[in-house]
Structure 1
Amino acid sequence: MIADISQRKIPLVLQCFLTIFLIRKCITLEHFPEFHFFFLGGLFSTIIALILLFFRTKASLHMIAISALTIFVIGLSIHNESRNINWIVFWVLMNGFVASSRLEMNAHTPKELVIGFLSGIIPQLILLPIWL
């Protein structure tokens, strides 16, 4: 685990650049619109986590990832008009497992987990109506 908040800045900036490259070159809007907006939401979540670091606030990157993936699975279920209730329940449970494991390891406070959760779902929810 990274003890100092400032040590997160370089990996997050690198992730931003790699995600931008991936969105522009591989996951284009014409070929994969669902994945394009999922990764775009992931980019926005990474930028939010980076901005929060400048305010000396740490967000749980694990919660950002798992909550964004949960919203994406829910969106795919709606988009494909399929009944994927088992997958949705699975990912919601995984959110709880990730949060409880981060608390058990003393890696985050409950506030950091909530910030991470919201940083993961809000960009996905904003972009969801565009590709649905």
Structure 2
Amino acid sequence: MLFQLITKYFLKPFSYIFHPIFISMYGAILYFFFTNNINYLAEMYLSLIQIFILTLLLPISFYSLLKIFKKIKSFTEATLEERRLPIFIQLVLLYLLLKFTVLETHFPELFMFFQAGFISAFLVFISVLFRFKVSLHMIGCTSLTVFVLIFMSYLEIAAINTVALLILCMGFVASSRLYMKAHTPLELIAGIVIGGLPQILVWFYNI
């Protein structure tokens, strides 16, 4: 009984802390924190505001509208039918972020993070059309971990503890999704692949 209570109150919060809607801000904050480029402070604050609006504020607003119109029931447990419109909206907002912000010119590493995120979102949209429920939580957590690992290696930043913590969190998120019976192991593995592979391909092959 005690073990079940500890598991419940320890694992479940990871599904909220690492909800896909927060991953973009986590990635941007970690990038700006570790690069600490004082030459582009104005551009950094502008980018943070743009990322906040396009990846967090607007998606939450759309989510609230969809919930009001009973198109979505849960913040963390969306069915295949409930995923289609939010993922399409995410694709549009990520396109706007890539097309009309200063990321590409001033923060190319962060631009590639969102470029890979757009590819992941597109693959999720395709998976929904084929009625396969990929774990969005694992996509987000994996993409964040791989991005941080790559850009720290690329910029020669020594922050192995941060990477180790993110990898540990990936395990907790996966355990949380299994505990909540939100996904099967196959759906979690698919999420890891769809989240991590585009990050690698964009960085090393410029797709």
What interval of TM-score do these two structures reach, taking the shorter chain for normalisation?
Answer: over 0.9
Q: Which aligned segments of 4 or more residues in structure 1 are displaced greater than 3 angstroms?
A: none
**Of the two structures, which has the highest relative contact order with CA contacts closer than 8 Å and spacing of 6 or more?**
1
Distance in 1, matches of 2:189 and 2:205, equals 25
Once the two structures are overlaid, the 10-residue window that deviates more, 106-115 or 75-84, is 75-84
Please, what TM-score do these two structures have when normalized by structure 1?
0.94
Whether 2:116 is the aligned partner of 1:32: answer no
Question: 2:66 matched to which residue of 1?
Answer: none
Distance in 1, matches of 2:187 and 2:204, equals 27
Distance in 2, matches of 1:27 and 1:61, equals 27
2:148 aligned residue (73, 96, 111): 73
**How many residues are treated as equivalent by the alignment?**
130
Residue 30 of structure 1 aligns to a residue whose secondary structure is: helix
Please, what TM-score do these two structures have when normalized by structure 2?
0.61
Whether 2:103 is the aligned partner of 1:62: answer no
Residues 27 and 35, structure 1, Cα contact 8 Å, conserved in 2: no
Q: Which runs of 5+ in 1 are unaligned?
A: none
Shift of 1:27: 4.3
Once the two structures are overlaid, the 10-residue window that deviates more, 25-34 or 87-96, is 25-34
Amino acid at match of 1:50: F
Shift of 1:108: 0.5
Counterparts of residues 81-92 of structure 1 (less than 5 Å): 81-92=156-167
Question: 2:201 matched to which residue of 1?
Answer: 126
Cα deviation digits, residues 53-73 of structure 1 (max 9, x gap): 111101000100000000111
Q: Which runs of 5+ in 2 are unaligned?
A: 1-76
Shift of 1:45: 0.3
Percent identity over paired residues: 38
Amino acid at match of 2:149: I
Q: Between Structure 1 and Structure 2, whose CA radius of gyration is higher?
A: 2
Question: 2:80 matched to which residue of 1?
Answer: 5
Amino acid at match of 1:73: V
Residue 86 of structure 2 aligns to a residue whose secondary structure is: helix
